Homo-oligomer: A and B are copies of this chain.
């Protein structure tokens, strides 16, 4: 009986409080914008007074990083679920589903998605062991894993490694190593190109850098997906 509860009562309480804090942060972010997410305001929201929060986080920055990590995880989960819902479909279809899920989450959570980008990644949050970095990496892996599966089951056309500039070749080789060689440098190049276009488009939409021309980027995103499907040699992308 006592053995089954691995988490002590204390720890459960702590977790609950942490969850409440994160919810307060998110609420403030969504309702009053990033600037409203102050230690004091968050503390007030959860019914404690200011400095109490320092028992949970060492600094404002760490709190922000932790919540940002939440958002990354939630986004990654949304993408994974979109895939899981089509577990039997061909990889190509699941890739498109994941990409659409990414934008769907971004659109329905603009404040959260905006925070992921716009909040300057402070040096401490760029450390590989930071919670934020871990969560960001998991997010990135969703599409990477799918692309690896595609590469293994139905390889897409890639440029000759010799055709790439030397500097790029080196960088791609290094990156290929960091993903344990699951994609060779040439394939990594194609993957990164697709990733960059898609993510970049979303990034600009969220940062309102395209407002001067577009009011709704859905068709633009879909066109980008068609292009991506062509590059990866997928069957008809739907829509």
Q: Is the CB of B204 within 8 A of A34?
A: no
Question: How many of chain A's residues have a CB under 8 angstroms from any CB in B?
Answer: 42
Q: Is the CB of A203 within 8 A of B207?
A: yes
Interface residues of A in 193-208 (CB under 8 A from B): 193, 196-197, 199-201, 203-204, 207-208
Using Cβ atoms and an 8 Å threshold, which residues of chain B touch A222?
165
- Least Cβ–Cβ distance between A32 and chain B, in angstroms: 13
The interface centre, meaning the residue of A118, A209, A210 with most chain B CB atoms within 10 A of its CB, is A209
Interface residues of A in 109-127 (CB under 8 A from B): 114, 117-118, 120-121, 126
The residue from B140, B167, B197, B211 contacting A216, defined by CB atoms under 8 A apart: B167
| A145 at interface by CB-CB < 8 Å | no
Chain B residue at smallest Cβ distance from A208 = B121
Q: Is the CB of B140 within 8 A of A219?
A: no
The residue from B165, B171, B213 contacting A175, defined by CB atoms under 8 A apart: B213
A196–B211 Cα gap in the complex (Å)?
12
